[in-house]
Amino acid sequence: MLSLIVEGPSRISGSVTVGGNKNAVLPMIAAAMMTDEEVILHNVPEIIDVENMLRLAAALGASVKREKSTVVIKADQLRTGELPEEICSALRTSLLFAGPLAARTGSAVLWPPGGDVIGPRRLDAHFYGLRKLGIQIQADGVPFRFSCTRRKTTTCDMFLDEASVTATEHIMMAASLFPRKTIIRNAAAEPHIAQLAGLLVKMGAEISGTETNTLTITGKRKLHGAEHTVEGDHIEAASFLALCAAAGGDIEVNGIIAPRYYWMIRRIFERFGLAFRLEPGKITMSARKMRIRPDFGNAIPTISDGPWPQFPSDMMSCMIVAATQAKGSVLFFEKMFESRIYFVDRIIAMGANAIVCDPHRVVISGPAKLRGITMSSPDIRAGMAMIIAAACAKGISAINNAEIVFRGYENLPEKLSSLGVRISLAEL
């Protein structure tokens, strides 16, 4: 087990470049299984989740080559055997191989997916959409079995009962290999879905409605290879901005492609009395003393998450920690995952003034003087939030189970050190 050792307090200064969008590249690897030609992906982050997805692709018989941030995948010798249980259970997106494999080869056998412990995440939307496409599913036992023996020729029109990101990605990929029109209503609209659609279009599919809640896919009997560059990860960028907000200082975040991905995030920072400047390819921000701006009538403001373009759930943990260093009170309302804010117990032990109302709500009052402690990361985003807390705290903190954080952040110790955080990696 790895542990991150942080000596605080720190003050942030410098620039950092974000890696490719984790939540975009993972389904892109699964999409590469839908053609026997090469799929070349650039700006692929070196993180554990990506390496596990590439291991699954290799287990299926695909040729996988990586040179720095470029990955070349060729699935011309695809096998349809059972995927390894150990890898499937290590990440949520292992399920995304099911639809592409069933659509291309007629069958897929996968073990149930794993991932972060942030609360139950339903698979119903995945199964509903795949069945609507004509894929049969046996999921009453393990491993799960998917088969596709016939393809309907009429338009497939479906309505998801939740705007699930991974289900939208999954159905969109599989539909790209069905030669008919598929309409997904109440689809998720996150930036990484539009990025995945961009790759599928290069592979030959016709897709319209990206960044809206209605996607229309006209699939093809055969897709071809493509070359695609993964855009910068907006969650990673926002995490570094939260670090600067909490610890204070100046930061420049590079690798920014689409400024519109940061509009809602900027609105939340404005509630803390901070503003960052969106420029071509980068974000700059100066953070001094934060003060939470009350709502009309001097009411305590609420920061809540929701489906895009609302505030991302993946940013709640880091912003909760940032709020501990701001003057005033704020209520965080985590609507999407009931275990997301369980990590707050750790920052309370560090000295944060927090009241956990229920599994979905916490009130933070600040500023608080934090002290270093030893803690363990329960999920990717909570782990990053703990690092931010440690950078603000007086003394030495240890964040154990650091492998979880490395599932989502590339070269994290090096990037943090370049910003002025005193951090080292130790093996327990």
**Mind telling me the catalytic residues?**
116
Nearest to 394 by CA among 424, 426, 364, 350: 350
Q: For residue 260, what are the contacts with CB-CB under 8 A and spacing of at least 6?
A: none
- Distance from C-alpha of 388 to C-alpha of 10, rounded to nearest angstrom: 10
d(CA 215, CA 181): 10
Whole-angstrom CA distances from 141 to 94, 111, 325 are 17, 10, 48
Please give the torsion angle defined by the CA atoms of residues 401, 407, 409 and 411, in that order, rounded to the nearest 10 degrees.
80
**What is the spatial distance between Cα 190 and Cα 423, in angstroms, rounded to a whole number?**
32
Can you give 67-93 as a three-state secondary structure string? ECCEEEEECCCCCCCCCCHHHHCCCHH
Alpha-carbon torsion (301, 304, 310, 311), positive or negative: positive
Token representation of residue 24 = 């975009």
**C-alpha to C-alpha distances, 71 to 41, 200, 410, nearest whole angstrom:** 5, 17, 15
Contact 377, 386 (CB under 8 A): yes
